[in-house]
Amino acid sequence: MKTAPPADLVDGILRLKEKRNAVILAHNYQLGEVQDVADFTGDSLALTQKAAASDAEVIVFCGVHFMAETAAILAPTKKVLIPDLEAGCSLAATVDVSQLRDWKARHPNAVVVAYVNTTAAVKAESDYCCTSSNAVQVVESVPPDKEILFIPDMYLGRYVREKTKRTIHLWPGSCHVHFRIHDEDIEAQKKAHPGAELLVHPECGCLTSALKHADFVASTSGMIRRAAESPAREFLVATETGILHAMRRQNPDKVFLPVAESAECSFMKKITLEKVLWSLEDMKHRVTVPTETAAKARRAIDRMMAAAAG
Ligand code: 13P
Ligand code: SF4
């Protein structure tokens, strides 16, 4: 059984949050106690929207660096803080600006659709942004005569290609956590729990096999919503294990089993309650995006928002 975090730590965070006029946003993969102290939890898209809509002066982003950058792009007048600068993303690190420029030069008539798991500089070189919750809609909104360069996640890209039947070239990137969720894990767990509903994140390396069995493929928030709405009592969850916290808290009468116990993102887990407190105490670490980069990245994000709304 887990022990509760020290009350004075939580009190300290809440007190400083008030004093700084701050809002705490936490991604669905964060440590349970960090999710519990947050004002809002969600997937990449939901947190981005919360950041943009918030009237707080300070945003403490409990997630990874590209997410804080996206918040800084959408909320340029606010101070965006990340409690640990080492909270990176192995997937975002698979493509940089010069690699993308080279690839574009080899496909001069294609448009670039960039998964939100990219740096602001890479987004600035892209035509459209997308998240796991709207990638299919975004690709469908691209003019039909255009080929698409999809960066950086090849599994999500392959899934979208399958769904939309568009000509999509895939960047060979993947997330080290989801890459390790193998076909064999899915097969074994399905055999052991034949009645369980299988919820899958589209970044999973097992996606080909998962799609054979999958009951539901969605973003982290989509998976959490489905867990609450589904009549099933038992679920197999194919994504990072931090998501189990919200699923179990919201549905105490249901059983949630990770497809791979080892699927833990060490970058997400860099953020601890102590670091959230220090972040508010010392107003660190501020995440900013140069104005020109932010303006270009924003075009790609705005196109995503328009596609998702339409
Ligand atoms: P979501 O947008 O579905 O929360 O995914 C973000 C992410 O980093 C998945 O690994
Ligand atoms: Fe990046 Fe993978 Fe961690 Fe998501 S789970 S933040 S894609 S490294």
* Interval 229-274: pLDDT, tens: 999 999 999 999 999 999 999 999 999 999 999 999 999 999 999 9
Same domain, 153 and 190: no
Query: What does the pLDDT average to over 180-209?
Result: 87
- Residues 66-98, buried b or exposed e (16+ Cβ, 10 A)? bbbbbbbbbbeebbbbbbbeebbbbbbbbbeee
Q: What pLDDT, on a 0 to 100 scale, did the predictor assign at position 185? A: 87
| Confidence at 169, pLDDT banded by 50, 70, 90 | very high
Q: What pLDDT, on a 0 to 100 scale, did the predictor assign at position 5? A: 80
> Residue 220 Cα, ligand 1 centroid: separation in angstroms?
6
Query: What does the pLDDT average to over 50-55?
Result: 93
Same domain, 69 and 17: yes
User: Is 96 among the domain residues?
Assistant: yes
Q: Which domain holds residue 248?
A: 177-258
* Whole-angstrom distance, CA of residue 136 vs CA of residue 307: 10
Same domain, 163 and 296: yes
Whether the per-residue pLDDT at 210 is higher than 90: the answer is: no
**Ligand 2 atom index nearest CA of 92:** 1
> Residue 85 Cα, ligand 2 centroid: separation in angstroms?
15
Whether the per-residue pLDDT at 131 is higher than 80: the answer is: yes
Domain containing 158 — which CATH number?
Answer: 3.40.50.10800
Q: What pLDDT, on a 0 to 100 scale, did the predictor assign at position 153? A: 96
Same domain, 102 and 169: yes
* Range of lowest pLDDT (67-81, 84-98, 172-186): 172-186
Beta-bridged to residue 151, according to DSSP, are: 114
User: Is 181 among the domain residues?
Assistant: yes
Cβ-contact 278, 285 below 8 angstroms: no
pLDDT above 70 as % of the chain: 96
User: Is 2 among the domain residues?
Assistant: no
Q: Which positions ≥6 away from 95 have C-beta within 8 Å?
A: 118, 122, 151, 152, 171, 173
User: Is 263 among the domain residues?
Assistant: no
User: Is 20 among the domain residues?
Assistant: yes
Cβ-contact 43, 220 below 8 angstroms: yes
Same domain, 51 and 27: yes
Same domain, 168 and 297: yes
State the total domains in the chain. 3
Quick one: which ligand is closest to 133's CA? Answer: 1
Average per-residue pLDDT for the chain? 94
Same domain, 69 and 195: no
- Residues 30-62, buried b or exposed e (16+ Cβ, 10 A)? bbebbbbbbebbbbbbbbbebbbebebebbbbb
| Confidence at 1, pLDDT banded by 50, 70, 90 | low
* Whole-angstrom distance, CA of residue 11 vs CA of residue 17: 10
* Range of lowest pLDDT (51-65, 78-92, 127-141, 206-220): 206-220
Same domain, 37 and 108: no
Q: Which positions ≥6 away from 177 have C-beta within 8 Å?
A: 90, 240, 263, 264, 265
Tokens 């709207």 belong to 134
List, chain by chain if needed, residues with CB within 6 Å of any ligand 2 atom.
Answer: 64, 89-91, 117, 175, 177-178, 203, 240, 265, 267-268
Tokens 């116990």 belong to 261
Same domain, 165 and 38: no
Same domain, 182 and 170: no
Query: What does the pLDDT average to over 164-189?
Result: 92
Query: What does the pLDDT average to over 149-166?
Result: 95
Q: What pLDDT, on a 0 to 100 scale, did the predictor assign at position 167? A: 98
The angle, 0 to 180 degrees and rounded to 10, between the axes of the packed helices 65-74 and 44-53 is: 40
Same domain, 72 and 103: no
User: Is 110 among the domain residues?
Assistant: yes
**pTM (predicted TM-score):** 0.95
Ligand 1, atom 3, lies closest to the CA of: 219
Tokens of 209: 């096999």
Whether the per-residue pLDDT at 211 is higher than 70: the answer is: no
Cβ-contact 82, 61 below 8 angstroms: yes
Q: What pLDDT, on a 0 to 100 scale, did the predictor assign at position 207? A: 67
Tokens of 184: 């064999």
Residue whose CB lies within 8 A of the most ligand 2 atoms, among 178, 179, 239, 270, for a mutation test: 178
Tokens 């999973």 belong to 204
Tokens of 140: 């469908």
**Could you tell me where the beta strands, DSSP code E, fall in the chain?**
22-27, 40-42, 58-62, 79-81, 111-115, 128-130, 148-151, 168-170, 197-200, 216-217, 234-238, 255-258
> Residue 266 Cα, ligand 2 centroid: separation in angstroms?
9
> Residue 44 Cα, ligand 1 centroid: separation in angstroms?
6
Backbone φ, ψ for residue 115 (5° rounding): -60, 150
User: Is 1 among the domain residues?
Assistant: no
* Whole-angstrom distance, CA of residue 217 vs CA of residue 291: 36
**Residue 258 preceded by cis peptide, ω within 30:** no
**Ligand 1 atom index nearest CA of 219:** 3
User: Is 114 among the domain residues?
Assistant: yes
